[in-house]
């Protein structure tokens, strides 16, 4: 099955402009063309776009994504190099997750602190409300 550029954009969550940009910078191969000369994206193209989106979401720079894409075109002989790129990127992702986890702990602490403040205020105002009733 093939998909027009608008369908591929919708399915991938990327904009049409992003798909064209990825093609221009050689992150993706130029897709096949239909009889009218329009881009026709395959399931394989969509799977590659999904992978690229994961890399981008995890903060991989476009420069490294392009390097990975070039190596991919060279076939299995570059498997070790591609694996190494992913191993290094995984280290970066894990470090970012640890940083976010530390930030989450601070947020949780602050939320708990303010919940306690609210309980203390409610407890302190309860006797006043009973006395004026």
Q: For the domain that residue 32 is a member of, what is the CATH number?
A: 1.10.1660.10
Handedness of CA 103, 51, 80, 72 (dihedral sign): negative
Q: How confident is the model at residue 74, as a pLDDT?
A: 97
Indicate if 51 and 90 belong to the same structural domain.
no
Q: Tell me the whole-structure pTM to 2 decimals.
A: 0.81
User: Residue 97 belongs to what domain range?
Assistant: 74-133
Q: How confident is the model at residue 128, as a pLDDT?
A: 66
Handedness of CA 110, 111, 116, 117 (dihedral sign): positive
Q: How confident is the model at residue 21, as a pLDDT?
A: 97
Euclidean distance between CA atoms 62 and 66, whole angstroms: 6
Indicate if 97 and 44 belong to the same structural domain.
no
- The answer to whether position 65 is within a domain reads no
- The answer to whether position 66 is within a domain reads no
24-57 pLDDT per residue, tens: 999 999 999 988 999 999 999 999 999 999 999 9
Indicate if 44 and 96 belong to the same structural domain.
no
Indicate if 95 and 41 belong to the same structural domain.
no
Average of per-residue pLDDT values in the chain: 95
Q: How confident is the model at residue 15, as a pLDDT?
A: 97
**Torsion angles phi and psi, residue 41, rounded to 5:** -85, 140
Number of domains observed in the structure of the chain: 2
Indicate if 1 and 42 belong to the same structural domain.
yes
| Opening angle at CA 118, ends 112 and 120, nearest 5 | 105
Indicate if 48 and 91 belong to the same structural domain.
no
Q: How confident is the model at residue 131, as a pLDDT?
A: 64
Predicted confidence band of residue 127 (pLDDT cuts 50, 70, 90): confident
Q: Which long-range contacts (CB under 8 A, 24 or more apart) does 70-75 make?
A: 70/26
- Which of 60, 87, 108 is the endpoint of a domain? 60
Q: Which residues, in sequence order, are CB contacts of 59 under 8 Å at separation 6+?
A: 92, 93, 96
Q: How confident is the model at residue 65, as a pLDDT?
A: 98
- Tell me: pLDDT of 9 over 70: yes
């Amino acid at each position: 099955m093939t998909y027009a550029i608008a369908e591929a954009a919708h399915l991938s969550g990327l904009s049409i402009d992003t798909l064209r940009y990825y093609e221009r910078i050689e992150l993706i191969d130029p897709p096949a063309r239909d009889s009218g000369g329009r881009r026709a994206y395959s399931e394989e193209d969509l799977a590659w776009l999904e992978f690229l989106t994961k890399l981008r979401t995890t903060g991989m720079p476009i420069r490294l994504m392009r390097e990975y894409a070039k190596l991919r075109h060279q076939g299995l002989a570059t498997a070790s190099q591609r694996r190494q790129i992913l191993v290094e990127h995984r280290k970066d992702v894990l470090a970012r997750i640890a940083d976010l986890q530390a930030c989450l702990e601070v947020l949780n602490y602050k939320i708990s602190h303010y919940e306690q403040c609210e309980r203390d205020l409610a407890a302190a105002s309860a006797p006043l409300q009973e006395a004026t009733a």
